[in-house]
Every structure is written in C-alpha cells, then in structure tokens.
Amino acid sequence: MKNIELDYNIEKPFVPTYTENMYPTFQEAAKEIYLDNNTPRIVLLDIDGVLLDHLDKLPAYALLNKSKIEEEKQGYVSALYYKYGDNLMVVTNRDPNINMFLSSKYVVEQAKQSTEDIYKHIGDGKEMKIFDGLFKQFPFFSKKKKEHLVEYISTLIPEGESPVLTMIEDWCIASLNRRTFPMYIANTLSKKYNIRCNVENYVIKNEPGW
C-alpha cells in the first residue's frame, strides 16, 4: 500500500473581509477617508444619497428641482481626487441611456459636470471616471459593465499591492444587501487578476433612508 503524502502548503483561496462604517453625512465620511494616510485605497463613490440628497432619488425630482451637487460636497470630492487621483471613481445604478426614472440622464450629467469642474480646478488634465448602469445589488445584471469596471481597477493597482476597496454609498431600505457589489468586485479581482482587496463600506445614513 502506497503512502499518501499530503501537501499542507497549498495556499487557501483568498476571502475578502467586509466592514461597514456609518456616517450621517458624506462630508464626515470623506474627511475620515482623507485623513487616513496609512491605507492605500480604491474609492468607489455613489451619487444618490451621497452627492445628491435622498429626495433626488424620487422619480423626476432631481430634473424638476434642477438639483445640483453642493459646493461643499464638491470640495470634499476634489480633496479625495487630489489625494487618490484615478483611484477615485463614480459608480451608479443610474443609466442615462435608459432614463427609467426620468431624472437618470440629468443626474449622471450633473455628476459629469461636477467631475469636469474638479479636474479643471486641479489642472492635471485627468478625468474622473464614471461607471453607470451597474445594477449593483444584482451580480448577474450588467455583467459587461461590471467586468469593465473590474478591468479598469486592475490597471490601477501595482503588482503585489493590496489596496482597500472603499465604497461610499447611502443607506437605503430598498437595498440592504450593500455588501453584494463590492464583494463581487473584490472576489473577481482576486480570481481573475490575483489582486487581494478587502472591502470597507462608508455608509451615509440619514433620514428617511429610502
């Protein structure tokens, strides 16, 4: 009978960790991230309930109200962009080509205008990326768009580095499965590109939270 040798040196698959931090405003979350000088990050920034008020999620509200991203919030986005550069990007479920809730095209255009103002102010000629139509709570929807985002992130990370995948999004009773999207991104980065990223989610929770 042959002796069976077991290889105890087989590396276990990487499993990303997920943590959440709750903040009452985007500004406070952004300040916390900005002041952390010890953690390399990829920062994914949502629009609804973060850059725009929760009321702007109502159908047609942002369009009819001509909602704008507040200057103070733009200042914090600018600070994050100055620090993280291309590692900061906007991610949203809004799809300007479908415009299901009437305001989607307007909201995405406002985000684009804001990012244009920011990189014009910084003057480095860069452009903050906006990834739209992601259906973040549903892993098998918009797979090509998600794959494009993952591929782009992979190009930003030097070999051997493991930045924290950092989400900034709002708390919403309609989408309590917040971990689904960033964990999908982190797991895909690991499996496809051998990039190991743990996840931190900075959740903006203010009333009414819908």
Query: Which of 44-53, 124-133, 161-170, 195-204 has the lowest average pLDDT?
Result: 124-133
**Which residue type does 180 have?**
T
Does 117 have pLDDT greater than 70? no
**Number of Cα atoms under 13 Å in the Cβ half of residue 185:** 33
Residue 78 confidence (pLDDT):
85
Residue 141 has pLDDT above 90, yes or no: no
- Quote the pLDDT of residue 63: 46
Q: What is the number of H-type helices and E-type strands within the chain?
A: 6, 6
CATH number at residue 108: 3.40.50
Rounded distance, CA 177 to CA 2, Å? 50
As a whole number, mean pLDDT of residues 117-124 equals 56
pLDDT over 60 (residue 102): no
Q: Is residue 189 in some structural domain? A: yes
Does the pLDDT of residue 130 top 60, yes or no?
Answer: yes
Q: How does DSSP classify residue 6?
A: P
Name the more confident of 206 and 18.
18
Examine residue 17 and state whether it is found in any structural domain, yes or no: no
The domain total for the chain is 1
The alpha-helical segments, DSSP class H, found in 85-198 are 104-122, 143-156, 180-193
Rg of the chain, C-alpha, whole Å: 19
So what's the pLDDT on residue 184? 95
Confidence check: pLDDT of 42 > 80: yes
Predicted pLDDT at 67: 55
Looking at per-residue pLDDT, the higher value among 61 and 166 belongs to: 166
Q: Return the pLDDT at 54.
A: 56
Q: Give, in order, the Cα–Cα distances in Å from 49 to each of 40, 132, 187.
A: 25, 16, 26
Q: What is the DSSP letter of 93?
A: S
Average pLDDT over residues 67-74: 72
Tell me the residue type at 115.
T
What's the whole-number mean pLDDT along residues 77-98?
84
Q: If you average pLDDT over residues 146-157, what whole number do you get? A: 95
The pLDDT value recorded for residue 158 is: 92
Residue 26 lies inside a defined structural domain of this protein: no
Strands (E), the chain: 18-23, 41-45, 88-91, 130-131, 164-170, 199-204
Q: Is 94 in contact with 107 (CB distance < 8 Å)?
A: yes
Which pLDDT score, from 0 to 100, does residue 56 have? Answer: 47
For residue 1, tell me if it sits in a domain. Answer: no
Look up the pTM and report it: 0.83
Range of the domain at 192: 34-204
- Tell whether 12 is covered by a domain: no
- Domain membership of residue 188 (yes or no) is yes
Position 207 scores a pLDDT of: 58
Q: What percent of the chain has pLDDT over 90?
A: 40
What residues form DSSP beta bridges with 201?
20, 167
23 pairs with which residues across the strands?
Answer: 204
Amino acid at 202: Y
Distance CA 179, CA 185 (A): 10
